[in-house]
């Protein structure tokens, strides 16, 4: 019979405890949780603040009583582990209700201490208006503040929790300002995708401040109690300030016990979740993992990996052979009418690491275009020169979750662009197309790799707008008249074959840069031009992607733009 102590509940800890019981009916399993709730849906907290999940009890998945009845677990809430003696294999516990301490022996110890919100060391962080959202009591306080008449909120941090809380506050009718130090919202995706999310925020009357930090929270001279003081001196009045700047591993116990910890403060574990002590395992937001694409160390505080790690630690404790799988970091967020999702690496991260890669952008419909309600999905797929999938991002409405999950599965399986082209996916008009967006990404990627498609993008805009190339717009005259790149020649793609001599004359030996709205017509034109021996490239993702990547891009208005003479 083994005595196993689990420190911390929620995803990783409770997954470990439940699995331990299923593996060994005789084991003594004790779960120690310093909070009031041992098993709650922390991912549902913003939706409880918004009122979409109205019943608080819906967030409480299990109680000590239900866990004892179902799994014969000894679960002790409001019991905080304050020290680990690795030599004696004991933990010292403080009962926060009884205000006494006791010592527990263990044969195996599982640390699921999680992460804690980052609170910058700035003036005003201890004010009651400044809140975080990490557990059910945090949500209770926010709901009380809203019920008491809060009308104006400032959210600091435009990551996943920040965006979810922005939406929650707007759902409750508050005026909301969003502050993000990075040069974009949702830093987990690339800039062209992030700008689509920013546009959605602005459309829903969110005041967005990006590329700027804040210096303090101070008394306000307005009718609101505080001001968030931005780095440039501007002041944003608020009744409530939500800190969503990220989390850090909660590893004080591990450090004090002498366990190996990374320079980022995460517990270092083996592929079986074992720490540097052979009797201690660690799981969840507090540990270091391996990035599945980059192969480097990472900290990925997500519920899915934490649950799997808890299960794996339990198997290892019971003598089963296990090995953790590197983490993809697959995540998704709803922002008003849009959904944004990501898996694997972004182009920004790959470029910073010096990893050669290709990027494609496409805008397929979420289901058959002839079926009512079709909407575009903005899809980015990244892959290596040999075609191996490295990452993907999607922004849109219905169908984003389905596509990112397929791409995450493909990435996990080591699939290539060729594999995407050949995937057999469910099709009926309300759900997809005979050529699913995933297949379309595969086809497009194949064209890039085999040389049938040569592309240009936002990074080439200065060259494209110079006299060194011929810009060719192959959209309709109506589209062109409503806005086009300056100094571009209009020839609709359906007229291109008959007017090829005109293109040759205008190009005068210069390379041709072709564009359309989404990239498909310009690809057709590119193949015509290539067939006539002309040096051409098509705009990746069309104007939809270019304008998302460069929101301030100048667009000329008129029926026909002039072509510079050569």
Residues classed as catalytic: 43
* Nearest residue to 31 via CA among 86, 87, 85, 71: 71
Angle between helices 542-549 and 191-203 (to 10 degrees): 80
The single-letter DSSP state of residue 268 is P
* Terminal-to-terminal C-alpha distance of the chain: 87
Q: Which residue has the tokens 């270091």?
A: 288
φ and ψ at residue 470, rounded to 5 degrees: -100, 120
CA distance 328 to 343: 6
Under 8 Å between Cβ of 7 and 13: yes
CA distance 170 to 52: 12
Beta partners for residue 359, in sequence order: 382
Under 8 Å between Cβ of 23 and 318: yes
CA distance 501 to 493: 14
What DSSP element (H or E) covers 381? strand 378-383
What DSSP element (H or E) covers 16? helix 10-23
- In this structure, the chain runs to a length of 566
Three-state secondary structure of 467-487: CCCEEEECCCHHHHHCCECCC
Tokens of 344: 């694997």
Long-range interactions of 274-278: CB distance < 8 A, separation 24+: 274/313, 274/316, 275/111, 277/86
CB atoms within 10 A of CB 309: 28
Q: 3-state DSSP call for residue 534?
A: coil
The single-letter DSSP state of residue 266 is P
DSSP count for the chain of H helices, then E strands: 17, 32
CA distance 311 to 300: 17
Q: Is 520 left (phi over 0), alpha (psi -120 to 50) or beta?
A: alpha
CB atoms within 10 A of CB 75: 25
CA distance 240 to 49: 13
């Amino acid at each position: 019979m083994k005595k196993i102590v689990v420190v911390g509940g929620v995803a990783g800890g409770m997954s470990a405890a439940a699995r331990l019981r299923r593996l060994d009916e005789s084991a003594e399993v004790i779960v120690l949780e310093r909070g009031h709730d041992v098993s709650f849906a922390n991912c549902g907290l913003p939706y409880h603040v918004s009122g979409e999940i109205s019943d608080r009890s819906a967030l409480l998945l299990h109680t000590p009583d239900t866990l004892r009845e179902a799994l014969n677990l000894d679960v002790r809430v409001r019991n905080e582990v304050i020290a680990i003696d690795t030599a004696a294999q004991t933990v010292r516990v403080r009962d926060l209700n009884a205000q006494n301490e006791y010592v527990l022996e263990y044969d195996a110890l599982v640390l699921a201490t999680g992460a804690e919100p980052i609170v910058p060391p700035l003036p005003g962080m201890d004010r009651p208006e400044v809140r975080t959202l990490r557990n059910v009591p945090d949500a209770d306080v926010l709901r009380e503040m809203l019920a008491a008449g809060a009308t104006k909120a400032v959210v600091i941090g435009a990551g996943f929790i920040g965006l979810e809380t922005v939406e929650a506050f707007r759902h409750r009718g508050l005026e909301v300002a969003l502050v993000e130090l990075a040069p974009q919202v949702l830093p987990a995706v690339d800039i062209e995708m992030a700008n689509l999310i920013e546009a959605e925020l602005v459309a829903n009357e969110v005041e967005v401040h990006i590329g700027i930090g804040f210096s303090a929270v101070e008394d306000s001279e307005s009718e609101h109690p505080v001001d968030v003081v931005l780095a440039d001196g501007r002041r944003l009045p608020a009744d409530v300030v939500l800190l969503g700047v990220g989390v850090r591993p909660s590893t004080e116990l591990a450090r004090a016990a002498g366990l190996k910890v990374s320079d980022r403060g995460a517990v270092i574990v083996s592929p079986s979740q074992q720490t540097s002590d052979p009797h201690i395992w660690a799981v969840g937001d507090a540990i270091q993992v391996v990035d599945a694409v980059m192969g480097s160390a990472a900290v990925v505080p997500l519920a899915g990996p934490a649950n799997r790690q808890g299960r794996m630690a339990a198997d290892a404790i019971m003598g089963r052979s296990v090995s953790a799988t590197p983490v993809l970091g697959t995540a998704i967020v709803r922002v008003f009418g849009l959904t944004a999702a990501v898996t694997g690496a972004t182009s920004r991260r790959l470029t910073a690491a010096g990893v050669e890669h290709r990027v494609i952008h496409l805008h397929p419909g979420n289901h058959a275009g002839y079926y009512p309600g079709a909407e575009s999905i903005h899809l980015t797929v990244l892959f290596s020169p040999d075609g191996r999938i490295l990452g993907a991002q999607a922004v849109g409405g219905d169908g984003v979750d389905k596509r990112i999950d397929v791409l995450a599965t493909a990435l996990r399986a080591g699939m290539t662009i060729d594999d995407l082209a050949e995937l057999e996916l469910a099709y009926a008009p309300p759900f997809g197309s005979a050529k699913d967006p995933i297949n379309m990404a595969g086809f497009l990627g194949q064209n890039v790799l085999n040389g049938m498609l040569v592309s240009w993008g936002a990074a080439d805009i200065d060259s494209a707008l110079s006299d060194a190339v011929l810009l060719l717009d192959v959209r309709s005259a109506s589209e062109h008249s409503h806005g086009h790149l300056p100094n571009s020649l209009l020839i609709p793609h359906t007229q291109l074959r008959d007017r090829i001599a005109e293109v040759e004359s205008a190009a005068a030996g210069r390379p041709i840069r072709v564009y359309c709205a989404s990239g498909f017509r310009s690809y057709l034109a590119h193949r015509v031009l290539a067939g006539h021996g002309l040096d051409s490239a098509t705009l990746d993702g069309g104007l939809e992607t270019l304008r998302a990547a460069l929101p301030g891009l100048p667009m000329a208005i008129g029926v026909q733009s002039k072509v510079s003479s050569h």
